[in-house]
Amino acid sequence: MSDLSAAADQVLRGVTESTPRVPGVSAVITDRDGNLYEGAAGERVLGGADPMTPDTVCAIFSTTKALTGTACLQLVESGDLDLDAPASRYAPKLGEAQVLEGFEADGTPQLRSPRTEITTRMLLLHTAGFGYDFFNENYNRLAQEHGQPSVITATHESLQTPLLFEPGTQWEYGSNIDWAGQVVEGITGKRLGEVFAERICGPLGMHDTAFGIRDDQRSRLAKIHQRGDDGSLEPLDLELPSDPEVHMGGHGLYSTVLDYAKFIRMWLNDGRGPDGPILSPETVADAASNHLGTMKIKMLPGVIPTLSNDAEFFPGMPKSWALTFMVNDEDAPTGRPAGALAWAGLANLFYWIDRRNGIGGFWATQILPFADPTSVVGYLDLETAAYANLRQPAAA
């Protein structure tokens, strides 16, 4: 594995020493048995004295979603959740959602009741109709003109947004899995973080993963940075709430690359953790397949430039959605085969899970806006290095 380590180290050094650079990055590559690579480069805060390390704590944003999906699948296995029943059975507030059909001349939203009830399956697939203000012009208009709070505030009010279309008819990336977290809470009678600790993070040994930062973690916390138009970076005084009103199943966790590698390994091992199953092999195989049918996911337009650029993985390649991951329908140029799982987090965190070859990885930076070119290219170079190592013949 020395060739992989050298190649991966070079990628990490490159992105922290280039122009434009990233302030710091940590990364891990794992197979079914353990980590093949653990590395980091740069600083936790630009210009600071503390180096980035593999155990650096980061806000992991939408890479939270896969844990919420896993919790839902566990409840399906226990018979407590029917993915195709009205989700308002478990999260009653979902029954109040209305469809946004446009705006009156004076800017008043035009709303109607949906004809189709939202299911938890729709929430996990992002077909329920919820969006994000940084990826959708109508949601951004609701925020700018009508005071709709950002989901980053982690409040109940921030979840009370209209649907962008009739449930089940389109794919739109948004706060759907925050609502799936509310489904989990409604069934278990516990906060989502407690469910994660008991059913996922605890059994997998993910002791640095939670909704909030412990005092003993703060010294390992990386700051989120803002990329300027000129490529410069500025540390922000921005943190996800440590004691949020809502445990946001779509984006609210803090974690480390070392912790997330344990979650990736569980999916590589057909749902099995070090001390027993988290999910059954049958559930994993089904969840890891395309559940969108002929529908495809689409490019994410950067509606709020400070939060996201236009974003699409492998442009021009068809991509589907599993429970709850992106699926590349064709082989990717990095070496990732068709049918692999992947997704990302707003502050330029990226992961992939290749169950066919038994390999995956996680890349963590803390930069806005999303789809930062330096970060994306570095991540793809890391993944490419992993597959180049995988193809090397074994030493005699």
Query: What residues act catalytically?
Result: 62, 65, 173
Handedness of CA 387, 390, 393, 396 (dihedral sign): positive
Distance of alpha carbon 294 from alpha carbon 3, whole angstroms: 40
Coil, strand or helix: which one is 354?
strand
CA 372, distance to chain mean position in Å, is 16
**Residue 323 class from Cβ within 10 Å (0-12 exposed, 13-18 middle, 19+ buried)?**
buried
For 174-228, the three-class secondary structure string (H helix, E strand, C coil) is: CCHHHHHHHHHHHHHCCCHHHHHHHHHHHHHCCCCCECCCCCCCHHHECCCEEEC
Cα within 13 Å of Cα(292), Cβ side: 26
Distance of alpha carbon 210 from alpha carbon 154, whole angstroms: 14
Cα within 13 Å of Cα(210), Cβ side: 16
Alpha helices in the chain (DSSP H): 2-17, 65-77, 120-125, 137-146, 156-159, 176-188, 192-196, 202-204, 257-268, 281-287, 373-391
Alpha-carbon torsion, ordered 55, 1, 262, 254, to 10 deg: 30
End-to-end CA distance of the chain: 14
- Backbone phi, psi, residue 237, to 5°: -90, 65
Residue at 50: amino acid letter:
D
Distance of alpha carbon 154 from alpha carbon 273, whole angstroms: 30
Distance of alpha carbon 127 from alpha carbon 369, whole angstroms: 25
